[in-house]
Amino acid sequence: MNPDNRHRLAWAATAFFVAAIACVLAGCNVMANFDKSRGLLAEATKGCYGSMTAINIERQDAIQADVRAHKISGDSATAELDSWLVTYKQGATVCKAGDELAQTAKNARPIIEAAVDKKKQVGDWIARIGAFVATIPASLARLGITGGP
Amino acid sequence: MFDLVLSLGKLAIGVGTAIYEAATMSPEEQAAVKAWADSKADELVDVRAQFKAAGDAKEAETRKVIAEAKASEPTSSER
């Protein structure tokens, strides 16, 4: 995920979730807001998986090109690949966390809809989802994962 | 400063639009939003599987390329 797109995603997520929380507080349809939030979470998670796949291909293509051109030895290439795969798998856990949150939110929907304190629960969920989406780019950047779409 | 004002303006418009849309949503529209969110969550199951398959395939491909490169490297006795 390049810095421009990271910035756009974080900004869009913040704007949307501020709007959603304001909407819940203002008394508009809470479940529709909950649904929009979890839909956006699923989209962001899809983007996370897509970015990780693109970055993984980019990194491994570079390793392949170097070893083919004999710029690095086979052993160095293996070490480089193994080192990248550790980072890649850590990045993948960020995407998987979004995936799990999206599935949990989907499964929790009927319970939330039937709850007495539905408005509070939806507010909590939106805040939780919003916080997660807004931190995806930073989590990947902390792992040193840059580049890609 | 101009950027900040512009950003806050965009945010205010976004908040206002979202509140208006959600407040005026019909039951059919609400059902459509729910169906959309459910379909997005369901899509993730396939996306996750494709992600894993793509990752595994790329790793296998790279290991094959490395193995081929290693096989063509001169051994210590050849050097």
CB proximity under 8 Å: B 41-60 to A = 41, 43-44, 47-48, 50-51, 54-55, 58-59
Contact between A23 and B18 using a beta-carbon 8 Å cutoff? yes
Q: Would you state the structure tokens that stand for residue B8, as one six-digit string?
A: 């806050």
Percentage above 90 pLDDT, chain A: 50
Q: What is the mean pLDDT of residues A113-134?
A: 87
* A139 has pLDDT over 70: yes
* A118 has pLDDT over 60: yes
Q: What ipTM does this complex have?
A: 0.81
Residue B20: predicted pLDDT: 65
Residue A65: predicted pLDDT: 97
Question: What does the alpha-carbon distance between residue A106 and residue B39 come to, in Å, rounded to a whole number?
Answer: 10
pLDDT class for A1, splitting at 50, 70, 90? low
pTM value?
0.80
Say whether B76 sits in a helix, a strand or coil.
coil
Q: Would you state the structure tokens that stand for residue A85, as one six-digit string?
A: 């795969």
Question: What does the alpha-carbon distance between residue A10 and residue A16 come to, in Å, rounded to a whole number?
Answer: 10
Query: Looking at CA atoms only, how far is residue A64 from chain B in angstroms?
Result: 6
Contact assessment for residue A97 and residue A135, using Cβ atoms and an 8 Å cutoff: no
Q: What is the mean pLDDT of residues B40-47?
A: 94
B11 touching chain A per CB within 8 A: yes
Which residues have a Cβ under 8 Å from the Cβ of A134 and sit 6 or more positions away? A10, A13, A14, A17
Test the A interface: residue of B39, B66, B75, B76 with most A CBs within 10 Å: B66
Q: What is the mean pLDDT of residues B52-72?
A: 95
A86 touching chain B per CB within 8 A: no
For chain A, percent helix, then strand, then coil, each to nearest 5?
Answer: 85, 0, 15
Most confident of A114-123, B5-14, B35-44: B35-44
Residue A119: predicted pLDDT: 85
pLDDT class for A142, splitting at 50, 70, 90? confident
pLDDT class for A123, splitting at 50, 70, 90? confident
How crowded is the C-beta side of A22, counted as CA atoms within 13 Å?
Answer: 17
